[in-house]
């Protein structure tokens, strides 16, 4: 049985760890709000982009943009993997990396080459360890993704797809379903088969995301995108009543400009979504670690008290025995 000093040292060690995990939980909680505010602010733009593209698509039926055209044979695929730069977030990184690894293994088994775009230090380290070459990498941006990062990724995959070097682009990331849960998503970015976006905070737990600052951010972004919304509504109404609009220089030219912007927006939205999910996963993991530390301290304290009580009882017994021997 360990000595009282050993038990006391372990209690002190666990309490120190508990302070660290508790602090990390509080930091993650603060970062969740900021990350979610950014997604809420970006969502109106994504919605307006989808509405405009859907309206344009109805008016350009039969027109084949390179980003909409499926290649006859898939020989090379770009795999975009979005994870975090740091660990201590439960299964946040491992779920995405395992899904991407299975997809890459399946492609390689079918003779399809893969260009890996790794976003986050954990993805870079994972693929380097697996001896899989990384074509494009980003680090120190997982908690605070930038538009430049999304623009560089979008430029790489669009240029590769238009030139024929890439035949498909697939995105792996964690969708922040709510403040506590993340859902691993696998989405095809190119060719564009469906124009859509994922709204963060859907389902249970949405109310925990929205505070006054978030609502203000969403309201400000919505005002900025009001013109785009009205344009999309106007085009839709024109379709319903049989009206017509003139696009300058042409409808196809407008679509050619919007589709690359849509790809960039979709990637950027995924980066923001993953950033919010990372903080949510870390908060959940650190809360679990803090609760476990509390339980361990309670257990160790009980063991310490029992050991001390046993030592005291032994000492009393020895004193009583010694006194009785002296009396005899």
**SS3 state at 131:** coil
DSSP classification of residue 179: S
Q: In terms of pLDDT, which residue wins out, 136 or 250?
A: 136
Examine the pLDDT at 163 and tell me if it is beyond 80.
yes
Confidence of residue 216 (pLDDT cuts 50, 70, 90): very low
User: Helix 4-59 crosses helix 212-224 at what angle (to 10 degrees)?
Assistant: 20
pTM: 0.74
Confidence of residue 6 (pLDDT cuts 50, 70, 90): confident
Instruction: Give the range with max mean pLDDT: 29-38, 92-101, 209-218, 258-267.
Output: 92-101
pLDDT tens per residue across span 28-49: 888 887 887 787 777 777 777 7
- Closest to 195 measured CA to CA, from 42, 39, 55: 55
pLDDT tens per residue across span 46-59: 777 777 777 676 66
Q: In terms of pLDDT, which residue wins out, 83 or 225?
A: 83
Which residues lie below 8 Å from residue 289, measured CB to CB, with a gap of 6+?
17, 21
**pLDDT averaged over the chain?**
77
Q: What is the pLDDT of residue 30?
A: 80
**Within 10 Å of residue 313's Cβ, how many Cβ atoms?**
10
**SS3 state at 199:** coil
Rounded Cα–Cα distance for residues 100 and 82 (Å) = 10
Dihedral angle at the C-alpha atoms of 267, 270, 271, 275, nearest 10 degrees?
Answer: 180
Q: In terms of pLDDT, which residue wins out, 37 or 197?
A: 37
Q: What is the pLDDT of residue 179?
A: 72
Confidence of residue 83 (pLDDT cuts 50, 70, 90): very high
Superfamily of domain 24-32+60-209+239-285 in the CATH hierarchy: ATP synthase, F1 complex, gamma subunit (3.40.1380.10)
Examine the pLDDT at 172 and tell me if it is beyond 90.
yes
pLDDT tens per residue across span 295-318: 888 888 888 888 888 777 877 777
Radius of gyration from C-alpha coordinates of the chain: 28
C-alpha 17: how far from chain center: 26
Q: What percentage of the chain reaches a pLDDT higher than 70?
A: 78
Q: What is the pLDDT of residue 173?
A: 92
Mean pLDDT of 117-142: 89
Mean pLDDT of 170-180: 84
pLDDT tens per residue across span 253-266: 777 778 888 888 88
Mean pLDDT of 232-246: 52
Q: What is the pLDDT of residue 207?
A: 29
Instruction: Print burial letters for 216-252: b (CB count within 10 Å at least 16), e (below 16).
Output: ebbeebbeebeebeeebeebeeeeeeeeeeeeeeebe
Q: What percentage of the chain reaches a pLDDT higher than 90?
A: 10
Examine the pLDDT at 202 and tell me if it is beyond 50.
no
Q: What is the pLDDT of residue 52?
A: 73
């Amino acid at each position: 049985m360990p000595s009282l000093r050993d038990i006391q040292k372990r209690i002190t060690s666990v309490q120190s760890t508990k302070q660290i995990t508790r602090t990390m939980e509080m930091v993650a909680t603060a970062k969740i709000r900021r990350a979610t505010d950014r997604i809420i602010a970006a969502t109106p733009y994504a919605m307006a982009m989808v509405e405009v593209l859907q309206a344009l698509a109805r008016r350009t039926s039969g027109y084949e943009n390179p980003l909409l055209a499926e290649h006859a044979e898939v020989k090379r695929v770009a795999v975009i993997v979005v994870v975090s730069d740091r660990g201590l977030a439960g299964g946040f990184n491992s779920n995405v990396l395992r899904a991407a690894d299975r997809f890459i293994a399946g492609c390689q088994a079918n003779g399809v080459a893969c260009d890996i775009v790794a976003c986050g230090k954990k993805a870079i380290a994972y693929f380097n360890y697996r001896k899989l070459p990384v074509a494009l990498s980003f680090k120190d941006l997982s908690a605070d993704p930038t538009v430049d990062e999304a623009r560089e990724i979008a430029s790489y995959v669009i240029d590769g797809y238009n030139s024929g070097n890439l035949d498909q682009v697939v995105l792996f990331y964690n969708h922040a379903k709510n403040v506590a849960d993340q859902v691993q998503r696998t989405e095809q970015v190119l060719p564009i088969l469906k124009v859509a976006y994922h709204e963060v905070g859907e389902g249970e737990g949405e109310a925990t995301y929205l505070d006054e600052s978030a609502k203000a951010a969403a309201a400000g972004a919505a005002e900025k995108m009001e013109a785009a919304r009205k344009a999309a509504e106007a085009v839709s109404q024109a379709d319903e009543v049989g009206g017509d609009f003139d696009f300058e220089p042409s409808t196809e030219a407008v679509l050619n400009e919007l589709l690359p912007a849509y790809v960039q927006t979709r990637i950027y939205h995924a980066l923001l979504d993953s950033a919010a999910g990372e903080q949510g996963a870390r908060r959940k993991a650190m809360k679990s670690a803090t609760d476990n530390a509390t339980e361990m301290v309670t257990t160790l304290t009980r063991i310490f008290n029992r050991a001390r009580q046993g030592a005291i009882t032994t000492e009393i017994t020895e004193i009583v025995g010694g006194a009785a021997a002296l009396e005899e």
